[in-house]
Amino acid sequence: MSARLNTAQPYVIGLFRIVVGLLFACHGAASLFGVLGGAVGTNGGTVDAGAWPGWYAAVIQLVGGTLVLFGLGTRAAAFIASGSMAYAYFEVHQSNALWPMENGGEASAMFCWAFLLLVFTGSGALGLDRLFAKRTTRTTGEREPAAQAATVAA
């Protein structure tokens, strides 16, 4: 059974990446453009351009989420997104209460850890990272470890 699950792993990681990236990009789009209910706490509005930290967080969410969604520069985009969510949790939510359930930081904590996982697993299957890695392999004639499907053992 483990062997079967291991063969599906790159595809499951790819689907995980797509879902997490889409949800993160939606948060950024809501804050920047007022779609999907708008920015949190603005009654359908947007965050002010250049406002610290909300506007910058929204840009990271939209751009980082889109890159992760398509699997393009996944590890770098996920690293930045994870850091932004760690900042959001500790600077915005942690001061209200200790636990995420008490301080409203569940989404920040969950996104932080989900993106950190993607930093270490990569884009999985169905990502543009793999397409570009294969192109590089064809032009150089060398086999790159990044282009191969790697199993992650727990």
Residue-by-residue DSSP string for 75-139? HHHHHHHHHHHHHIIIIIITTT-SSHHHHT-HHHHHHHHHHHHHHHH---TT-HHHHHHHHHHHH
Compute CA distances 87 → 7, 59, 74, 84, 96, whole Å.
36, 15, 20, 5, 14
Summarised one tens digit per residue, pLDDT across range 26-78 is 999 998 888 888 777 666 678 778 778 888 999 999 999 999 999 999 999 99
Instruction: Supply the pTM of this predicted model.
Output: 0.81
**CB-CB contact of 68 with 21 (8 Å):** yes
Which of 70-74, 119-123, 128-132, 145-149 has the weakest average pLDDT? Answer: 145-149
Instruction: Tell me how far apart the 2 most distant CA atoms of the chain are, in Å.
Output: 55
71: left (phi over 0), alpha (psi -120 to 50) or beta: left
In the block, which residue shows the tokens 């996982």?
Answer: 117
**CB-CB contact of 119 with 82 (8 Å):** yes
Compute CA distances 58 → 17, 97, 98, 133, whole Å.
19, 24, 25, 29
Sorting pLDDT into bands at 50, 70 and 90, what band is 90? very high
pLDDT of 79 higher than 90: yes
Summarised one tens digit per residue, pLDDT across range 100-121 is 989 889 999 999 999 999 999 9
pLDDT of residue 74: 96
pLDDT of 146 higher than 60: no
Contacts of 90 (CB under 8 A, 6+ apart): none
The average confidence (pLDDT) of the chain is: 86
